[in-house]
Amino acid sequence: MKEFNYHILVAIVNVILLGFICLFLLIASFSVSAPIDDPIDKVSRNISTGFMFVLWAVNYWLQYKSKKKKWYLPLAGAVLYVAIVFIALGYVSPFLRELLIK
């Protein structure tokens, strides 16, 4: 029963994370900062979206296959996921975009 409750918690936390990804993509799609024909902007958006989904999938897999079925692991994974995404998209992505432009 404990393992079943853990898997339900993992599923709920990861559905919330998917909602976070979709909300982020929705906001990003309405805030266009570059012309639509800018190929570097398209590439950076595709890479950012792919990064978020790959990181989410790895996070979900690690939580689901965890040997320790503790309730705090999915919550800590969710917090780390959000922090990594904000750091990567807030600091690393603009830096890489500037390197591609120059």
Residues 21-59: tens digit of each pLDDT: 888 777 766 666 655 667 777 777 778 888 888 888 888
* Cβ pair 53, 81 in contact under 8 A: no
Q: Kindly provide the b/e burial profile for residues 10-40, where b requires at least 16 CB atoms within 10 angstroms of the residue's own CB.
A: beebbeebeebbeebeeeeeeeeeeeeeeee
Read off the DSSP letter of residue 69: -
pLDDT confidence of residue 19: 83
Question: Given this model, what pLDDT does residue 36 score?
Answer: 62
When divided into structural domains, the chain yields a total of: 1
Q: Are 9 and 74 in contact (CB under 8 A)?
A: yes
The boundaries of the domain holding residue 42 are: 2-101
| Confidence at residue 1, expressed as pLDDT on a 0 to 100 scale | 67
The pair of three-digit structure tokens given for residue 73, joined into one six-digit string: 């692991």
Instruction: Please provide the average confidence, as pLDDT, over all residues in the chain.
Output: 79
